[in-house]
Amino acid sequence: MVEIAKQEDELRREFYETYLPRVNRELSIDNVLTDYSDGILNGNIIEFKEHISDLNNVLFQALKYLSARRIKGKPIPANILLISLTSKKAWLYHSADYLNVIETPFVGGASKGNGGFVIKDYDRLFEYDNPLDENALIETMRSDVYTRIHLDENCIVGWATHYYELNPSARKADFIGDNTGKTRIIGEIRKPTAFARYIYPYTSETNERFRYLMDKLNDFMQKKDLGAFYTHQLYAQKSLELVRKAIARVPEGNDYVIIDRCAGTGNLELYMTDDELRHTIVSTLEYYEYKVLMEVLGDKATIIPPTEKEDTFNMGLVRGADALSEEYVNHPIIMEKLNNPNCSIILFENPPYADTTSIEHQKEGVGKKSTGWKQSYVVKEMKKLKLGTASNDLGNAFIWSAFKYYLRQPTDSYIVYSPVKYWKVHHLINKKFEEGFAFNRRHFHTNIDACVMCAWWSNEEAESQLKINIHAYDIVNGQLKDYGNLPVEQIEYQYSQKYFDKRSDTNDTDGGIICSKDGTERLVTKTKRVKPKHNDNILGYMAVYSSGFDNPDNMSSLLVAARYDGNGFYLRRDNYLQKLPMFAASRYVTYNRKWTERGRIMKSADGYKAFNRDINNGKINTFLLRCLLFTVFEPQNHMRSFTGSDGRQYVNQLCLDTTHGETIASKALKDLEPTEEESFLLKLWKSIIKQARNTANYDSSKTYGLYQIKVELDTFVKDEMTGNTRYDYPELHGNINSLAKRVKDYYLKEIVPTLFKYKFLK
Ligand SMILES: C[S@@+](CC[C@H](N)C(=O)[O-])C[C@H]1O[C@@H](n2cnc3c(N)ncnc32)[C@H](O)[C@@H]1O
């Protein structure tokens, strides 16, 4: 099997080497091999087989690739060439003949399950060992024609992404604008220009068909500022249970109103009855969401603004609908309800999620820059209260303002979707918790498994409410899956408040080097938030910050010298051991990827009294040594040995390479009576270091930890053709992998329970 595959690869390479120079000499094989197909060459998709025995099957495989290309928003070549390499035959088909197949989404690999498909006659057969046919085949491969496809909900996001990549400054109107309402910008989908050769104009008058995707169709600017992550319908339906309970407790004689200031296209309102909708006020900031909202709820609910005016469209936003503006806070439609003592207020919202330090934002590469909303009235008012980092989060501005401006009576309610941090860490509100759910963030148009809380808060001050329970539901195969009750506990202290080593030592000298996160010396840096120090008692630097686990690798570092952007402390020989549980805890979500953990479990120093007491009475020595063993084998321990630009030797002391004598870790671990599992890990390490010494890059003057072996000695090459990685030292590589697997099990079994016990994880 392997031999055959190799043969096919070689023949395919030979084919390209022969014909690419005749088709377009600027193209390399790499340019042609895309999307896991055998090649897209101008307006041709090419599928090779060493020998084609079933044309139907191979054609279907090509059609599946084309189907995937449409979904990704990539042009569909007009020609399909199926090439039998040994018999030198190429069959030509036209993709237009199979548009219905291409416009069907397929699940699973393209090369699987292709049998039983009936095809039309091929357009032409080239027997390319004959010169006439060979020439015609070259001509065909030069052709640059595409089959136009129809836009639907399966592919619109792909084409939008493609469009914004081509036109980074384009706005959503430029892409999906329509000819309805007061602002009639006809977008690309209705009058294709950039994609004129690739797509048919979208002929529906409105964008209602894309209502569940409106967040994903936002342009780059809006993605930064609107924090739109839509709620799955099943979650919307479930959370309505809380709304109904809130309605049920509306006092006798009171009317009620449900307000959703950030309704998007109305997902939360989807399952409301007409009567509930009559009691509902919705609005949203983004213009095309507003239009859909009008279309789906216009005749059922109250909408702000009630109708579109000439000036409603305001650079892609809706004038008068910014929930964080002063104008909105005082909006007469809302004020009318608030000023009525016989009206109960129920806010029901999934506020925009734009924590500027969150992973989504870091991924967009915009960091803290996307701060339009930070200048808003509500955020400015909130900042006056000096709430610290809580004001970095757009969602928090909605939550804070809900209680500040809208809820007035004890039976008023707020049902809100948001990660638990605002209550758990920020202590943004202290209201009575009635009931709540844990939902998986993955079903809010992200691909992150994490916990989002949907909580029903009563407008009453809470007394000693340090722990709440929420009922967890994932969505599996289109149904809610019950995960039982999960506790959420409030956090009082951060690590930095109780555990960071803030001592200075009279022998500390200024100077020395700083490190990048990968453990190497950082020579040039714009951000230098730490003053390098030197002292023989310093063995490294630990940065563990942020209570949550967004971006966990960024927020936990162990380095031989200070991290360039600080956020940590120097590890010193006399007490480094008792600092290691912080590092161990900071790896929690890496080894426990369950959606129920991330976003719910966080780092805390709340157990500091018990921890310090047990340190003093020596009760947890074994646990500390276990944390040390874990640390030496944990690849996020980026301590490396090298000669610094200051001429000093920086030696990784938290590793077990004793080539040059004992390290601090190897000495300390002599006190650990190893269990069977620990002996196994140590034995595996011995093989690894032995194998490492025989690698080409090994430098006998260095002391190697696992990470340094991984990144400097366990070398590999990538096969250009197959994309496969071939390791130069498979035995070493295999042992490193086995160690990682065993370390994970060891961590979960031996370390995690004690981290919870002392509330390093809470
Ligand atoms: C997380 S989405 C929720 C949408 C919808 N309710 C749902 O659950 O699917 C947040 C929505 O808030 C809107 N939004 C963002 N900033 C806003 C603001 N300042 N005022 C009003 N709406 C805003 C976004 O356009 C987005 O539709």
Length of the chain: 762
Dihedral (Cα; 653, 657, 662, 663), 10-degree rounding: 10
CB of residue 264 inside a 6 A radius of ligand 1? yes
Average confidence (pLDDT) over 278-286? 97
**d(CA 321, ligand 1 centre) in Å:** 10
The answer on pLDDT for 526 being more than 80 is: no
Contact 291, 253 (CB under 8 A): no
Average confidence (pLDDT) over 452-458? 98
What tens digit of pLDDT does each residue of 237-259 get? Answer: 999 999 999 999 999 999 999 99
Q: How many CB atoms lie within 10 A of CB 14?
A: 11
Average confidence (pLDDT) over 81-106? 95
The answer on pLDDT for 359 being more than 70 is: no
**d(CA 183, ligand 1 centre) in Å:** 21
**d(CA 266, ligand 1 centre) in Å:** 10
Three-class HEC string of 127-140: ECCCHHHHHHHHHH
What is the C-alpha separation between 745 and 592, in angstroms, rounded?
10
Contact 51, 86 (CB under 8 A): yes
The answer on pLDDT for 407 being more than 90 is: yes
Query: What 3-state class would DSSP assign to 91?
Result: strand
The answer on pLDDT for 350 being more than 50 is: yes
According to the model, what pLDDT value does residue 367 have? Answer: 44
**d(CA 260, ligand 1 centre) in Å:** 9
Q: What are the φ and ψ backbone dihedral angles of 317, each rounded to 5 degrees?
A: -115, 170
CB of residue 160 inside a 6 A radius of ligand 1? no
**d(CA 413, ligand 1 centre) in Å:** 19
Least confident of 53-62, 521-530, 737-746: 521-530
Q: For residue 330, what are its two tokens?
A: 């005082």
What is the C-alpha separation between 521 and 514, in angstroms, rounded?
6
Average confidence (pLDDT) over 80-102? 95
According to the model, what pLDDT value does residue 736 have? Answer: 97
CB of residue 452 inside a 6 A radius of ligand 1? no
Ligand 1 atom having least distance to the Cα of 328 = 20
**d(CA 229, ligand 1 centre) in Å:** 8
HSE of 370, CA atoms in CB hemisphere, 13 A: 24
Q: For residue 386, what are its two tokens?
A: 């000096």
**What residues does 45 pair with on adjacent strands?**
40, 80
pLDDT band at 211 (very low <50, low <70, confident <90, very high): very high
According to the model, what pLDDT value does residue 113 have? Answer: 56
CB of residue 324 inside a 6 A radius of ligand 1? yes
According to the model, what pLDDT value does residue 7 have? Answer: 82
CB of residue 285 inside a 6 A radius of ligand 1? yes
The answer on pLDDT for 261 being more than 70 is: yes
Query: What 3-state class would DSSP assign to 251?
Result: coil
What is the dihedral sign for C-alpha 414, 419, 421, 426?
negative
Strands of the sheet containing 89-94, edge to edge, are: 40-41, 44-49, 79-84, 89-94, 124-127
pLDDT band at 388 (very low <50, low <70, confident <90, very high): confident
Q: For residue 578, what are its two tokens?
A: 């008792």
The answer on pLDDT for 667 being more than 80 is: yes
Q: List the end-to-end C-alpha distance of the chain, in Å, as a whole number.
A: 51
What tens digit of pLDDT does each residue of 610-636 get? Answer: 999 999 999 999 999 999 999 999 999
Ligand 1 atom having least distance to the Cα of 218 = 25
Ligand 1 atom having least distance to the Cα of 353 = 1
pLDDT band at 355 (very low <50, low <70, confident <90, very high): low
According to the model, what pLDDT value does residue 203 have? Answer: 96
pLDDT band at 40 (very low <50, low <70, confident <90, very high): very high
The answer on pLDDT for 363 being more than 60 is: no
Chain centroid to Cα 324, Å, comes to 26
Average confidence (pLDDT) over 194-205? 97
Average confidence (pLDDT) over 548-575? 93
Average pLDDT, the chain: 93
CB of residue 657 inside a 6 A radius of ligand 1? no
**d(CA 303, ligand 1 centre) in Å:** 14
Least confident of 159-168, 711-720, 731-740: 711-720
pLDDT band at 2 (very low <50, low <70, confident <90, very high): very low
The answer on pLDDT for 356 being more than 70 is: no
CB of residue 323 inside a 6 A radius of ligand 1? yes
The single-letter code of the amino acid at 563 is R
Q: How many CB atoms lie within 10 A of CB 71?
A: 20
According to the model, what pLDDT value does residue 1 have? Answer: 40
According to the model, what pLDDT value does residue 389 have? Answer: 82
What is the C-alpha separation between 380 and 372, in angstroms, rounded?
12
Average confidence (pLDDT) over 503-527? 89
The single-letter code of the amino acid at 667 is K
Residue among 480, 432, 472 at smallest CA distance from 456 = 432
Give the residue whose CA is nearest to atom 4 of ligand 1: 264
Least confident of 219-233, 265-279, 523-537, 694-708: 523-537
Query: Taking every pair of C-alpha atoms in the chain, what is the biggest distance, in angstroms?
Result: 91
pTM of the model: 0.89
Per-residue burial over 47-59, b if 16 or more Cβ lie within 10 Å, else e, is bbbbebeeeebbb
According to the model, what pLDDT value does residue 398 have? Answer: 98
What tens digit of pLDDT does each residue of 367-384 get? Answer: 445 568 888 999 999 999
Q: How many CB atoms lie within 10 A of CB 410?
A: 14
The answer on pLDDT for 401 being more than 70 is: yes
**d(CA 285, ligand 1 centre) in Å:** 7
Q: Which residues contact 533 (CB under 8 A, 6 or more apart)?
A: 508, 509, 510, 511, 512, 562, 570
CB of residue 360 inside a 6 A radius of ligand 1? no
The single-letter code of the amino acid at 758 is Y
**d(CA 265, ligand 1 centre) in Å:** 9
Task: Check residue 521 and give left, alpha or beta (phi > 0: left; psi -120 to 50: alpha).
Answer: beta
According to the model, what pLDDT value does residue 342 have? Answer: 97
Instruction: State yes or no: cis peptide before 305, omega within 30 of 0.
Output: yes
What is the C-alpha separation between 182 and 185, in angstroms, rounded?
9
**d(CA 221, ligand 1 centre) in Å:** 15
What is the C-alpha separation between 204 and 185, in angstroms, rounded?
15
Q: For residue 705, what are its two tokens?
A: 């930890």
Average confidence (pLDDT) over 456-480? 97
**d(CA 494, ligand 1 centre) in Å:** 31
According to the model, what pLDDT value does residue 720 have? Answer: 66
CB of residue 230 inside a 6 A radius of ligand 1? yes
According to the model, what pLDDT value does residue 366 have? Answer: 45
According to the model, what pLDDT value does residue 33 have? Answer: 80
pLDDT band at 116 (very low <50, low <70, confident <90, very high): low
According to the model, what pLDDT value does residue 368 have? Answer: 46
Chain centroid to Cα 151, Å, comes to 27
What is the C-alpha separation between 411 and 270, in angstroms, rounded?
25
Q: Which helix (H) or strand (E) holds 461?
A: strand 451-461
Give the residue whose CA is nearest to atom 15 of ligand 1: 226
**d(CA 50, ligand 1 centre) in Å:** 53
Between residues 107 and 94, the one the model is more confident about = 94
Dihedral (Cα; 9, 90, 66, 720), 10-degree rounding: 20
pLDDT band at 119 (very low <50, low <70, confident <90, very high): confident
Give the residue whose CA is nearest to atom 19 of ligand 1: 322
What tens digit of pLDDT does each residue of 565-605 get? Answer: 999 999 999 999 999 999 999 999 999 999 999 999 999 99
What is the C-alpha separation between 481 and 623, in angstroms, rounded?
36
Query: What 3-state class would DSSP assign to 284?
Result: coil
What is the C-alpha separation between 629 and 747, in angstroms, rounded?
10
Q: What are the φ and ψ backbone dihedral angles of 480, each rounded to 5 degrees?
A: -70, 135
Residue among 295, 329, 338 at smallest CA distance from 397 = 329
The answer on pLDDT for 493 being more than 90 is: yes
Burial class from Cβ neighbours inside 10 Å (0-12, 13-18, 19+) for residue 384 reads: exposed
Q: What are the φ and ψ backbone dihedral angles of 318, each rounded to 5 degrees?
A: -100, 120
Q: What are the φ and ψ backbone dihedral angles of 662, each rounded to 5 degrees?
A: -65, 145
CB of residue 494 inside a 6 A radius of ligand 1? no
Dihedral (Cα; 593, 599, 604, 610), 10-degree rounding: -60
CB of residue 346 inside a 6 A radius of ligand 1? no
Ligand 1 atom having least distance to the Cα of 323 = 20
Q: Which of 216, 226, 280 to mutate to test the pocket of ligand 1 (most atoms within 8 A of CB)?
A: 226
According to the model, what pLDDT value does residue 174 have? Answer: 96
Q: For residue 30, what are its two tokens?
A: 């790499």
What is the C-alpha separation between 226 and 219, in angstroms, rounded?
10
Q: What are the φ and ψ backbone dihedral angles of 518, each rounded to 5 degrees?
A: -80, 5
Contact 47, 81 (CB under 8 A): yes
According to the model, what pLDDT value does residue 117 have? Answer: 60
Give the residue whose CA is nearest to atom 16 of ligand 1: 226
Task: Check residue 26 and give left, alpha or beta (phi > 0: left; psi -120 to 50: alpha).
Answer: alpha
What is the C-alpha separation between 195 and 604, in angstroms, rounded?
52
Give the residue whose CA is nearest to atom 26 of ligand 1: 228
Q: Which of 284, 370, 393, 437 to mutate to test the pocket of ligand 1 (most atoms within 8 A of CB)?
A: 284
CB of residue 289 inside a 6 A radius of ligand 1? yes
Give the residue whose CA is nearest to atom 13 of ligand 1: 262
Ligand 1 atom having least distance to the Cα of 352 = 10
What is the dihedral sign for C-alpha 216, 217, 218, 220?
positive
The answer on pLDDT for 6 being more than 60 is: no
CB of residue 213 inside a 6 A radius of ligand 1? no
What is the C-alpha separation between 503 and 405, in angstroms, rounded?
45
Between residues 608 and 106, the one the model is more confident about = 608
CB of residue 286 inside a 6 A radius of ligand 1? yes
What tens digit of pLDDT does each residue of 679-719 get? Answer: 999 999 999 999 999 999 999 999 999 999 999 999 999 87
Q: How many CB atoms lie within 10 A of CB 643?
A: 12
Least confident of 552-561, 673-682, 753-762: 552-561
**d(CA 290, ligand 1 centre) in Å:** 10
CB of residue 379 inside a 6 A radius of ligand 1? no
CB of residue 750 inside a 6 A radius of ligand 1? no
pLDDT band at 490 (very low <50, low <70, confident <90, very high): very high
CB of residue 548 inside a 6 A radius of ligand 1? no
